Structure 1
C-alpha cells in the first residue's frame, strides 16, 4: 500500500463528481513529499508515524509540494513556511498551526440503519476506501462516530453544520432523523452546541415542500439545504432558485417557517442530466428578489471540468458563472460563497487555488466566504485546515488580477467568523462553552495518544463512483 501523507493530494470525490486523475505536477508533489518525510524523520530521529502525526509532517509535505509546483511553473500561489519548518516544531507550528475559531459549515455522515439500505443492498459502500475500518457492519465506518472522531478529535474544528446529500427520504444515506440524532450526540455536555443542523428539501419531489414544516417543528434548523440539479428520473431534471414553480415557493416557505438561510449546492454537477441546473446563474436574481434571506452557495459553483483562471465573463460553467450572476445583479450582500470540496480540489494546483480564492474574495468580500470541507468523504479535514493556513496568493497575481493578500485576519474570517455571523453565534462565548464540554475533555485524553488515519472515504476512481451512484436510486 502506498504510504499515506498528512496533507492529501488524491483523486477522491465526495460522490457528486467523477474522480479526476492527478496531473503530473501533483503526482510529482506526492513523490517528493514521501521522500521529504522519510529524510526529515531520519534526520531528527523519529519513526515515520510519530513524525507524521504532528505539525512537522504537514510542514515537510507542504514544502515538497512547493518545490514540485514551482518546478512545473505553477507559482500563482504557494504554501508559506520557513526552510527549517520540517525539522523545527516552532517553525512548523508557525506555518500550519493556529487558534482560529473553525466552523465547518458542510459535514456529512451515513446512517447505518436508515431506510436507504433496503434499496441499496448489502454491497453499498463496500468498495469505498474506508469500508475496511474493522467494524462488523462496514457502514459503521461512515457513521456519526467516524465523523465525530475525524472532525472533533483529529482536527482543529470547533463547530460544524451537519448537512445533507441529495436524495429522497428512502434513498438518502443521511436521513433527517439520523442527522438529528448525531447532533444530539455531539452536543455532549454542558448545553454546548458543536453541531448545527440543516433541514432538507428537494422541491422537485412530491411532498417535499409540505415536509419542511415537520422538520422545523422538531429541530431548530440553521438553514434549509437543497440541490437545484436534483430531480427524479420520471420528472423534472432540476430547477432554478428564481423560477416560480419550485424555487420561489421553496424560499418563501423557508421564510414562513422562520428559517432565513438557504444553503444551495451549485457546481459539481452529478452528470449530464440536470447539468444546466448546476449553474449558478440564478443566484444573483434570487438574492436580489429575496433581500431578507441569506443564500449560502455550497461549492461556490465550482466545476471540476473547468480549469479556474482569471475571471471570464463568457464562462458557461464554474465559479465565473457565480461571479457574473453576482455582478449582473448588483452584487447583493446576502450571498456567501462556500468552499466545501472546492478548496480540497484546487489544493492540487496552486494557480487554480489562487485564482479561485482571489476571485471569490474580490467578488464577495472577505466577510462573505465560508469554510466548509465536505468531510466525512475526505476523512479528517485537518489537512485542508493546515494547507489553508499556509497558503498565500502570489504578489504577481495580486498585482495582475487585483486579488487581495490572504492575511491571517482574512483567514480567521473565512475559517469561522463569517459563518458565526450568518448563524447568529458569538465565537468568544462559544469558545468558553466548548473549552469545558465533554468533547473537549475527550479530546484532551485522546491527544495523549492521537491516532489519525489520514484515510479518505469517498470514491477514488470511476468504478467506485458509478457504484456509489447506483446506491442512490433517485440520483439523476
Structure 2
C-alpha cells in the first residue's frame, strides 16, 4: 500500500464540504454559506498553524484541523444538528478527542475497479466514462484508471481512515463492461487476508434479473456462493440494459431473484435505492417496492443502500404521503408492517456524505431513521473510494449531535455514543455474522495494523475528492455512459 506526497499548495481541507457527487446524481451547487465555510476554515488553519509553529500540512492532518472545519460549519447552522466540539478543539488535540475513537468500525459499502483487463475499451458506456471526469484521474499514473485500483483503495480505506472491516460492494453492468468482476473482488479479499489479518474484507456478487434468463440467474447465484463465497447479493433495480430497471416485488425479476438467492443459503441482499441517475427517468430509484418485497420474503435481509435519499430533495420532518426520498422508504415499510425488528436496514452510503455539510438536514435524516427504523437497523457505509478516503465522514459522524430542540419537537432520539457505536459497526457485524471483540483482538497486531501504525509516522492523506464536482462534469458523464450505477 504505497503513499504519494502532495506539494503543500495542493493540500485540501480535511473535511470535504464540496459539490461532488458519486456520479449517480447531479452535484448540488456549493452554496455561498459553504463557500464561506471553506474559505474561513482554510484561513483559520493558516493562522493557527503559524501560531502553533506547525506546517499547514501537519495542522490539516491533525484532529485540530478537522475540528476547525466543523466548528466553522457550526457558525452558519441554523438549528437541528451541530458538531459537539469546544472552541479550543482548534488548538488543543485533547479537546478534539470527539473526532477520534476506538469503536468497531465496519463500512458496508466501498468500491474499487480492476485494471487487469481492458473493460473500458468498448463503444458501450462504462464506469470509466465517470471515473475519467474526476480529479483523482489526474493522480499521475500512466493509466488514469490506476487511480481507482486496488492499491489506492487499500490506502484510502485502511491507512487513511479508521475503517477496520469493509464490504467491497459490486458494481453495475454486464460482465463485458463491469468495472470489477467477482474474481477480482475475491483477489482483493485474498490480498488483505494474506496480510495476516482476521477477515477485513467481505464481498458482494452482482445479479442482473432483467438481463438474464431464470436459468442463468440461478446458475450465476449458485456460482457466486459456491465458488466465490460471497457474503451478499447486490441488486440494482435502477439498472438494466434496456434502461428501464425493474421492481423488487416483480415475481418475474426481483422477487424471483430474491427467492433463488435464498435457496443458496445467502440471505443478504444489498439493494441500490435513491440517488437517481442524472438525466435518466427511472421509477425504480424509489422505495415503494421495498416494503412489499420484504413482506413477501421475510427470511431475506435487505440492506437498502442510500436509504432512498435523493440529493435534489431536501429532507425535513417525516411526510407519510411522500413518494420520494428517505420518507418514501419509511412509508413503504410502515404500510407493509416492517418495523424496528424487521428485515430491512437503511444504509448511509452517500447519504451522510451529502447531509453532513447541512447539519439541519442531517438531523432530520438520522432522526427519522432512528425514530421509525430504530437504532439497530441503520448501517454505516461511505461509498469510498468514490468520495476519497472516508475518514472525514467518520470524524464528522463521531462529533455530530441532534439538538435537544429537534428531539423535543420531532420526537427524535438523542444520537448518543452508544447509538453511534451501533451504527458505525455493531449493526453491520450482526448482519454479517461477525464478533467485533474477536475481530478487534485479531487485528491488534496483524500486518494491516502494523502498517497503519508505521504509516502514522508520516501520513500522506490527500483529502482528495473523486467525484464530478459540477453539473457540467456530471452531464458529460451522463452523455458518455447512458445509464448505470456506481
Under TM normalisation by the shorter chain, which class is it? over 0.9
C-alpha distance in structure 1 between counterparts of 2:16 and 2:297, whole Å: 40
The answer for unaligned runs of 5 or more in structure 2 is 1-8
1:89 aligns with 2:93: yes
Q: Which residue of 1 aligns with 2:454?
A: 445
**Deviates further, 182-191 or 165-174:** 182-191
2:160–2:389 Cα contact (<8 Å) kept: yes
State the shift of 1:190 in Å.
Answer: 3.0
Q: Which residue of 2 aligns with 1:116?
A: 119
State the shift of 1:335 in Å.
Answer: 0.6
1:280–1:325 Cα contact (<8 Å) kept: yes
Q: Which residue of 2 aligns with 1:323?
A: 330
1:112–1:140 Cα contact (<8 Å) kept: yes
C-alpha distance in structure 2 between counterparts of 1:21 and 1:172, whole Å: 30
Q: Which residue of 2 aligns with 1:285?
A: 292
2:197–2:447 Cα contact (<8 Å) kept: no
Q: Residue 357 of structure 1 aligns to a residue in which SS?
A: helix
1:102 pairs with one of 100, 105, 108: 105
Q: Which residue of 2 aligns with 1:421?
A: 430
Q: Which residue of 2 aligns with 1:342?
A: 351
Q: Which residue of 2 aligns with 1:20?
A: 28
State the shift of 1:439 in Å.
Answer: 1.2
Deviations 1:390-446 (A, max 9, x none): 000111110000001110000000000000000000000000112222111111111
Aligned-CA RMSD value: 1.8
2:157–2:390 Cα contact (<8 Å) kept: yes
Q: Which residue of 2 aligns with 1:225?
A: 234
State the shift of 1:472 in Å.
Answer: 4.3
1:57 aligns with 2:65: yes
Q: Which residue of 2 aligns with 1:389?
A: 398
Query: In the comparison of the two structures, how many residue pairs are matched?
Result: 469
Deviations 1:122-177 (A, max 9, x none): 98433320112122211111001101000100000000000022211111212222
The answer for unaligned runs of 5 or more in structure 1 is none
Q: Which residue of 1 aligns with 2:3?
A: none
C-alpha distance in structure 2 between counterparts of 1:5 and 1:18, whole Å: 23
TM score, norm. by length of structure 2? 0.93
1:32–1:65 Cα contact (<8 Å) kept: no
Deviations 1:87-137 (A, max 9, x none): 1010112x2111111000000011113352221699843332011212221
1:186 aligns with 2:192: yes
1:276 to 1:350, Cα distance in 2 relative to 1, 3 A: same
Matches within 5 A, 1:398-409: 398-409=407-418
Matches within 5 A, 1:71-86: 74-86=78-90
1:227–1:265 Cα contact (<8 Å) kept: yes
Q: Which residue of 2 aligns with 1:465?
A: 474
**Deviates further, 280-289 or 259-268:** 280-289
Q: Which residue of 1 aligns with 2:153?
A: 147
1:248 pairs with one of 251, 255, 276: 255
State the shift of 1:29 in Å.
Answer: 1.6
2:303 pairs with one of 296, 308, 318: 296
1:276 aligns with 2:280: no
Deviations 1:247-267 (A, max 9, x none): 111101110111100100000
1:188–1:439 Cα contact (<8 Å) kept: no
1:331 to 1:29, Cα distance in 2 relative to 1, 3 A: same
TM score, norm. by length of structure 1? 0.95
1:179 to 1:464, Cα distance in 2 relative to 1, 3 A: farther
**Deviates further, 52-61 or 466-475:** 466-475
1:293–1:334 Cα contact (<8 Å) kept: yes
State the shift of 1:11 in Å.
Answer: 1.2
2:371 pairs with one of 355, 362, 368: 362
Q: Residue 259 of structure 1 aligns to a residue in which SS?
A: coil
Q: Which residue of 1 aligns with 2:204?
A: 198
